[in-house]
Structure 1
Amino acid sequence: MIKTSVYLPEELEVRLDAEAAATGVSKAELIRRGIAMLLEHSTRPRQGNALPVFDSGRTMTAEAMDDALYEHIKERSARR
C-alpha cells in the first residue's frame, strides 16, 4: 500500500471516529472503502486495457509499419 495524507474538516473527523468506534473498523479502512465506493460509482469513462508494448530491437517509420501490417494482413487473408 501507499501512504497518503488527507486533511479532513473537524466535523468529518468526529463522524469518522464515531463510525470506527461503532463498527470496530479502522478509520483507514473506512476511508479506503469510501474511496473505492466513490470510484466504483463514478460516471467518468474508465480507461480500457493498455495495448501490450514490446521492443523488437529495431525502429520503423510509420510508413514501414503500415507496409509490414499490410503484408501481414495480406498473408493471413491468403491462408484462409
Structure 2
Amino acid sequence: MVKTTVYLPDDLEVRLDAEAAATGVSKAELIRRGIALLLDSSSRPKQARSLPVFTSGRPKTPDELDDAVYEHIKDRSTRR
C-alpha cells in the first residue's frame, strides 16, 4: 500500500470518527472503501485510450513490434 495524506474538513472528520466507532472499521479502511465506491461508480470509460497502431510498408517481425511498442511507451512516459 501507499501512504497518502488527506485533509478533511472538521465536519467530515467528526462523521468519519463516529462511523469508525459505530462499525468497528478503521478510518483508513472507511476512506479506502469510499474511494473505491467513487471510482467503481464513475461513468468515465475504464479504458480511455486506444492502443497505438503501427503501419509500415511491410509486415514487422515480433521483435520489431516489441521494439516499436517499447519506443512508444518510452516516448509517452518522457512527455509526462
TM-score range, shorter-chain basis?
Answer: 0.5 to 0.7
**In the comparison of the two structures, how many residue pairs are matched?**
57
1:68 equivalent in structure 2: 59
The Cα RMSD (Å) is 2.3
Give the TM-score of the pair, scaled to structure 2. 0.63
Which protein is bigger by CA-based radius of gyration?
A: 1
Whether 2:30 is the aligned partner of 1:27: answer no
Give the TM-score of the pair, scaled to structure 1. 0.63
Cα offset for 1:30? 0.1
Amino acid across the alignment from 1:5: T
Task: Name the CA distance, whole Å, in 2 between partners of 1:37 and 1:68.
Answer: 45
Where structure 1 has 5 or more consecutive residues not aligned to the other structure, the ranges are 52-61, 70-80
Task: Name the CA distance, whole Å, in 1 between partners of 2:18 and 2:45.
Answer: 34
Identical counterparts, % of pairs: 70
Where structure 2 has 5 or more consecutive residues not aligned to the other structure, the ranges are 61-80
